[in-house]
Amino acid sequence: MTILVAMDSFKGSLSSFMANQAVREGIHLIDPSEHVHTATVADGGEGTIEALRHPFQLRLDKYPVLNALGSLKEATYGFNLSTKIAVIEVAEVCGLPEIPVHLRDPIHATTFGVGQLILVAIAKGATHLYIGLGGSATTDGGFGMLRALGVRFFDESEEEILDTGLLHHIHRIDETDMHASLEGCSFTIICDVENPFFGKEGAAHIYGPQKGADGEEVQLLDVGLRCMAASILTSKQLDLQQIVGSGAAGGLGGAFAAFLDGKFVSGAGLILEANDIRKMDKPFTLMFSGEGKIDAQTLKGKLPMSIARMGSAQGVPVILLGEALRSLQMN
């Protein structure tokens, strides 16, 4: 009997590796002879670098950047000099779990550090950057990241906007001073979220409350995203609402699509493929996966559901484990 254990991280408490080890130990308490294959996995959020470290042969580097609150922190990214591939996790730069609940500031939280880390990776020689979206404390539509990359924002009076809290005043966007080093670089956006940029199913309404936004703040954030999207539509003739996943990581997905020609890929699909989990020599007889909370979002293509579908296709039973279980409606 060969058992696959591929647990996603439990935000703020267990990494994928730690969760896998806990399940492995539990199985071996029942039957020490069971063969258990563990796979470190992620779907674009926390743990993405570690999940791609072996298949991409990444070396880990650290660099000081600004976190979501504008404080300096050491952020880890993965880099392979020979392939010129870099992997950056948004959660590693401006992640929600590292911000104490009483300090969360959804109106002013910034992605500036993401832009800083992109420039660091490019300066090291990276030309193909994988960006894991997920787990961010931000809803700035990529405003901070774009400013770090040289993009400038102006209001109707042609005053430059420097504060994330003023997104609702955006009237014009100027790309003239974008860093020349970005030319020739490609961006693969690792994302399993399908939300649009703004609106009732958008970044602010769906994810703002878990980042600390109250009802009034959600409305303000959504207006800011609408203003940003309108300016992008005017200047680039690109409708972010038509891009699946543009609302990921507080709208960061839309910024990558509009300004860096980011190409979206399924995080679960990429990581399962990169780790050859679907091509194992021995067929599995049982599979375990899961994450912190099993809910409706889990069913929308997140990693545990990808494992469940893989098991279903192979006729293998799959057990999903979660710290919390919300009502699910399976079709």
Nearest of 176, 170, 165, 110 to residue 138 by alpha carbon: 110
Average model confidence (pLDDT) for the chain?
93
Residues 112 and 168 in one domain: yes
> Residue 326 pLDDT > 90, yes or no?
no
Please report the pLDDT score of residue 243 as a whole number.
96
Same structural domain for residues 25 and 84? no
CATH number (domain holding residue 295): 3.40.50.10350
Query: Region 196-206: what's the mean pLDDT?
Result: 96
Q: Residue 122 domain-assigned?
A: yes
Residue 279 in this model has a pLDDT that exceeds 60: yes
Predicted TM-score of the model (pTM): 0.90
Q: Does 305 lie in the same domain as 207?
A: no
**Residue 329: its pLDDT value, please?**
56
Distance of CA 251 to the CA centre of its chain: 11
Return the structure tokens found at 151: 């993009």
Domain span holding position 104: 48-267
Q: With cut-offs at 50, 70 and 90, classify the pLDDT of residue 134.
A: confident
> How large a percentage of the chain has pLDDT more than 90?
77
Say if 119 falls within a structural domain.
Answer: yes
Total structural domains in the chain? Answer: 2
Let me know: does 125 contact 181? Beta carbons within 8 Å.
no
